[in-house]
Structure formats: C-alpha cells, structure tokens
Amino acid sequence: MKDIIFDPSTKFDFKCADYVPFKDRELCEKLRLMSGTELEKREAWHHPEFNIKVMMNPHPVLIATLFERIKEASDNNRKITLILGNPEPDTYIPLAQLINYFKVDCKNVHIFAMDEWADQDGNIAPETYQAGFAHSMLKYFVYQIDPKLRMPLENVHYPTTENISYYSKLITEIGEGGADICSSSPGWTGHMAFIDPVPEFFPKATGDAGIEEWLNMEARLVKLHPLTVAQNSLHGVFGQSGYIQAVPPCAATIGPVDVKNARERIEVHALMTNGTFSSWQRMTSRLVLHGPVTPEVPSSMLQLMKTQVLVSDELAAPFECWEKVGY
C-alpha cells in the first residue's frame, strides 16, 4: 500500500442536497473569501441607497436608530409605524429603557410583529405562548415601557388566525402606504421574517416578471423550510440545544410587499453561536448582500430597496476549512 499524501488535498465534487435552496457553489466559494472591506462594496444592481457597513457591534446602532425615529415622531406629534423582528429582548429592553429615561410619549407608535408560529393546521400561536414572537414583543418591549408613556395596546399588532388574511392590508392602512421602518435579520435560508424559500413564496412567472410577482406577495401562512426549523432549535426560546421537536412546523409571516412598501429598512447581520466564532449566518450574509436577487435567498430583495445593513466584524471575517477544529 502506498503512503497517503494529504498535501495538497484533492477536490471532491458533489451536488448539494435537494433541500438546499441556493445551490451555486461556485458563486458561494467567491463570496466566502470576501473581506469586510469587500463586503461593503456596491454591486451594479444595488439600489442607490442600499448601504452596507461593517462594524464591531451593530446592535447599539440598531437600538439608537429605532429610538431616534420614535423620538422624532413623538417630538412632532406624528404617527410612526414599525415592523419589528422577534424575539429580541437584547434590543427591546434597552430601547424601552431609553424611552423611559428620556420620557418619550409613544401614544402615536404602532408596532407590527413580522411573524408568528403556527401549528400543522395553520392555527397561529397566542401571545401567551412562551416561545412566541408576540409574547416577546409584549413582554420585553411594550410592558417594559412606563405605563404613562406606553403605546395603547390597540397600537400593538401581531399575526393571528383571524387577521393573517388581511395583515398586509392592515400594515398598509395604518402606515398610510406602508411601515415607516422595517427591522430584520436574515435566517439560515436567507429568509426575511418567515418569508422562506418554500412553495408558498415561489412565483409562477420567471425572470423579471417573477421577481415582480414575488415582491408583491402579501402576508400568509407557510410551512417552514427544514433549515429554518433547525436554526430556531439553536435559539434561546427552544433551549439552544437542537431540540427540533419543540419547533412549530409552520408560521404566519408578513409578505415581501410589506418589506417593499416600508419607507426605510434596517437589517443586522451579527448572529453568532453562544458568543463563539461559529455562525450559520456568515455564508447567508454574503448571499443576501452580494448574491443574485432571488426567492431562493429571500432577504436578497433588500438589494433593490433603500436599506441600511449593519454587519459585525466577526460575521464579516472570511472562512475556510479548519480541519483541526472538528465539531
């Protein structure tokens, strides 16, 4: 038997698993090697106000941006409509504390949760469900605000079994054309809210007509992508332990049209695994920012819109095969 030569290593070609939404590995390899400086560069097709900023910690900027918009609206006695991601106690609690400290009246603030869990039959989880998104928004934001400053509860909106069929119309109506700001962070599939790469959000048309059809889709119930179920099993509300059996199989979500109609968007790419270098979001971020605009990577829609994307230094780091790391 000949000695085995390990260096240089050899390539091993294969096709991606069927459930992988975006399969262009050649492009992924190019994106994988991008540095933080390169991530900030613009593509020819980017919206003129699609901006990417790499920084040490994006969360204070997100909190400050949301607070600034709420305070400005309050100072001018103007209604403001926000679409918020969940669960975000690390964002909500400091934001509520700023509102309380500076005594900002939130009577004109309307907030919309962008999504909520549902069971296999399409029944949407109630706000009392501990892992629920409405639960998080109410407990860690709304009820953290001083009662004298708090927005009326009728200004707090979230998907329910009763309203999901007209949830997009509700956002448009209350926001007078759309939300003032939509805050988000991409999932493992590149999803925005639970706009997953699943049949419920695949357009019938192709090419530019297909993108236009997709961008005009409204809120709906969806069966979640398997990677979305796996990703959420690593989040705090499900014990950060891969307990996939605890994650509901379906969800209610805003539609691409609600993202498109927003007057401003802010997206944060900074999710790490328990403070380590590991992150399922590192490859996703590159596809969202510099891959093609496609329903296969739903948050890529932001490339066509006025958006501020904040990326952490750690997430922006190039990556490769670290064979000694193991699991």
Residue 1 has pLDDT above 70, yes or no: no
| 165 alpha-carbon distance from chain centroid | 21
Chain-wide mean pLDDT for the chain?
Answer: 95
Angle CA(47)–CA(52)–CA(56) in degrees, nearest 5?
A: 170
Residue 89 has pLDDT above 70, yes or no: yes
What is the per-residue pLDDT across 120-149, written as a single tens digit (0 to 9) for each? Answer: 999 999 999 999 999 999 999 999 999 999
Looking at the DSSP bridge assignments, the partners of residue 116 are 252
Of the candidates 254, 185, 192, which has an alpha carbon nearest to the alpha carbon of residue 225? 192
Rounded to a whole number, what is the largest CA-CA distance in the chain? 82
Radius of gyration of the chain (CA): 20
Q: How far is 168 from 112, CA to CA, in rounded Å?
A: 10
Cis omega (within 30 of 0) on the bond before 295?
no
In this predicted structure, what is the pLDDT of residue 326? 72
Q: How far is 327 from 324, CA to CA, in rounded Å?
A: 9
Tell me the domains of the chain and their CATH numbers. Answer: 45-316 (3.40.50.1360)
What is the per-residue pLDDT across 229-277, written as a single tens digit (0 to 9) for each? Answer: 999 999 989 998 999 999 999 999 999 999 999 999 999 999 877 677 7
In this predicted structure, what is the pLDDT of residue 158? 98
In this predicted structure, what is the pLDDT of residue 320? 86
The structure's pTM equals 0.96
Residue 306 has pLDDT above 90, yes or no: yes
Q: By the 8 A CB rule, do 222 and 201 touch?
A: yes
